Amino acid sequence: MKNDKITYGLFEDESADPEVRAAMQKDVKIPEELLEKREEAFRKIRDGQKRHHRPGYSLYARIAGLAACACAAVIAFSGASYAVGADNLFSRSFARIVEATGGNKDYNQRKIETIAENAEEITAGSSSETSGIVSSSESGKIPADAQTANRQTSADAKNISLQAKEYYCDGKILAVTMEIEDKDGVLSGYDYVHAAMGEDSSRNPSLTINGQELGVPGDFYFQKDADGNFVTLKEINLRYHEVWDGCSFPDGSSLDVSISIPELEAGMAGPLEEGNELQSRKILGDWAVSFSGTCRADGNHVIAENQASGDVMLNTVTRTPASVWVDLTVPQNCGGIDLENCGYAVNLVLEDGTIVQPEDGMSLNKNEEGISSPFGEQAWRFVNPSGEHFAVLVRAKDEQLTKLAEYHL
Amino acid sequence: MEHLVKRAMKGDTDAFLELMTQNTQILYKTAWSVLRNNEDAADAVSETILTCFEKINTLRKPGAFRTWMIRILLNHCYNILRDQAHFDRSGEVPDFPGSMWEAEPDSFQELLQDVEEKYSTILTLYYADELTVCEIAELTGLNQNTVKTRLKRGREMVRRSLIHEE
């Protein structure tokens, strides 16, 4: 079912669609050379010349599917013993995700370390007011009395409870920690619980902030902790929603956050095994949690602005407690390259050679027609820059890199 | 098809081969839409079959098989194009796109022969492979609006071709 066609204005002319569809779906004669090569491949498989990859690969392969949504930087939380335990857990689980993405491992590891450093500072007594990290003893801890303010910080269904625990918001990102407790032990044999975006939109997780349902919130991936519960740190890119959904998150503004998860799927991290009935299990329910909070952007500082280099305009560089944001305007024809052509991506490269690729929804570019493309306004995010110098690169489909601009902050 | 995928994921070779036989049309059309000749398309499809066999036990959801298989196919197609670009630079005479096949009247190939690759691939993924805009965007690295724009333009080209045939 292609709901896309109903939803999008670009498909207004439906009259041609059945004709085109029928023509495109008509079977073609498979050429002999292809049939021969297919048979050759089949023979290699039958003869055992090709084998399945060893099961050990499967965990990373499974996590890799999550990476696009989940590899955004990790925010550490301070305070309660829960958070202390969770820091290590998140570091491990995100390290696995990072590893599954391949490449840039050192950089991603450094991102995790940066978060850990932040968390320690907060634990040591730094003020949450100046750091922007909201500790669990202050407003970052979703208060137990939230229920009295018409906020449902925990939800139960099928004897499985979902609880929102802590949040962090600096105006550019919102991160929430959540925990699943399984009272009947039906999840005890599983390694993770996943609330994924799927074909059936009625079963997808949803996110509402200040009464506005925001676009795709992405997957929620809960990792098992030492107590047998499942925990996650979900990061929401507010900058993305600012651009695409017209939301605004100024310092001191209130946040009313609602998260709904209608379906959970529990799974095992190991390889698929014949006859193992525990491989995965879907549980339908209605886990809806909500909480109120405050956006704290007073820890954000603009450290550079309005610098041109080559064809690229650096609008601002903003340091938040969690990361560094770079806002650029990249023209369509840049450095002699027409970025409209398929396969180009704009990346940043840090002083140590690390290439920073777009993270979850971080490429906020719109061209004059309001269509996303590798040019136009762009927002980038990275953590713990290795120096005060970075370059803007364009990466072609063949992986060739061309430097467009260079900045010294 | 899903029961075949499940069996193949559990190591049933016969199920896997049957699965790939059933998907040969999709594999061929998609590879052709990118590569525009049968020889390269045959190479891409055979490599895809072998890669899918090696990695099918890493597939997480049987329902995602088709998208996963096409992703692997596109990677092989792009590798072939990249290798050809390398040879082109080294002075070899490149094959002229379309010179290695003879289109049958009213065929898939004839329909797409005047459609640029960037449109024909998206059209094939959408109409022949029946992927959603979202899935195509993920597979190609394009954003959804670009996919939609290319679908619209590509469809207009195909429509003109259909009218011309009449």
**Domains of chain A and any CATH numbers:** 92-131+151-270+278-295 (2.60.40.1630), 301-408 (2.60.40)
Q: Can you read off the two tokens belonging to residue B66? A: 């088709």
CB-based contact A16 B149, cutoff 8 Å: no
Smallest Cα distance from A63 to chain B, Å = 9
Interface predicted TM-score (ipTM): 0.85
Contacting residues of A for B144, CB less than 8 Å apart: 372
DSSP label at B133?
H
Instruction: Count A/B contacts: CB-CB distance under 8 Å.
Output: 160
Smallest Cα distance from B136 to chain A, Å = 12
Contacting residues of A for B38, CB less than 8 Å apart: 31, 33-34
Region of poorest pLDDT, from A89-93, A288-292, B40-44, B127-131: A89-93
Three-state DSSP class for residue A275: coil
Q: Does B22 touch chain A (CB under 8 A)?
A: no
* % of chain A residues with pLDDT over 70: 51
Does the structure show a pLDDT above 80 at B22?
A: yes
CB-based contact A53 B54, cutoff 8 Å: yes
Q: What is the mean pLDDT of residues B44-71?
A: 85
The confidence band for A277, taking pLDDT boundaries of 50, 70 and 90, is low
Of residues B20, B42, B56, nearest to A33 (C-beta): B42
Q: Does B74 touch chain A (CB under 8 A)?
A: no
CB-based contact B158 A23, cutoff 8 Å: yes
Does the structure show a pLDDT above 80 at A136?
A: no
* % of chain A residues with pLDDT over 90: 7
Q: Can you read off the two tokens belonging to residue A136? A: 């669990």
Sign of CA dihedral A207, A208, A212, A213: positive
Contacting residues of B for A29, CB less than 8 Å apart: 104, 107
A392 close to A328: Cβ distance less than 8 angstroms: yes
CB-based contact A61 B118, cutoff 8 Å: no
Question: CA B120, CA B152: separation in Å to the nearest integer?
Answer: 11
The confidence band for A214, taking pLDDT boundaries of 50, 70 and 90, is confident
The predicted structure's pLDDT at residue A243: 66
B66 close to B23: Cβ distance less than 8 angstroms: yes
Three-state DSSP class for residue A371: coil
CB-based contact B50 A41, cutoff 8 Å: yes
The confidence band for B164, taking pLDDT boundaries of 50, 70 and 90, is low
Smallest Cα distance from B133 to chain A, Å = 7
Q: Does B162 touch chain A (CB under 8 A)?
A: yes
Q: What is the mean pLDDT of residues A328-336?
A: 78
The confidence band for B24, taking pLDDT boundaries of 50, 70 and 90, is very high
Helix intervals (H) in A194-301: 238-245
More confident call, B25 vs A296: B25
What DSSP element (H or E) covers A49? none
CB-based contact B146 A373, cutoff 8 Å: yes
B54 close to B69: Cβ distance less than 8 angstroms: no
Task: Please choose, from the candidates B141, B36, B26, the residue with its C-alpha nearest in 3D space to the C-alpha of residue B98.
Answer: B36
Alpha carbon distance, N-terminus to C-terminus of chain B: 36
Contacting residues of A for B101, CB less than 8 Å apart: 31
Question: CA A344, CA B146: separation in Å to the nearest integer?
Answer: 13
Question: CA B47, CA B30: separation in Å to the nearest integer?
Answer: 14
The predicted structure's pLDDT at residue A203: 81
In our burial notation (b when 16+ CB lie closer than 10 A, e otherwise), range A173-208 reads: bbbbbbbbbbeeeebeebbbbbbbbbeeeeebbbbb
3-class SS shares of chain B: helix, strand, coil, % to 5: 75, 0, 25
Characterise A130 by phi-psi region: left (phi > 0), alpha (psi -120 to 50), beta (else).
alpha
Query: Rg for chain B (alpha carbons), in Å?
Result: 17
DSSP label at A74?
P
List of residues 6+ apart from B64 with CB closer than 8 A: none
Q: What value does the mean pLDDT of chain A take?
A: 64
Which chain A residue's Cα is nearest to B54?
A52
Q: Does B103 touch chain A (CB under 8 A)?
A: no
Could you give the strand order of the β-sheet that contains A312-319, starting from the edge strand earlier in sequence? Answer: A301-309, A312-319, A324-330, A376-382
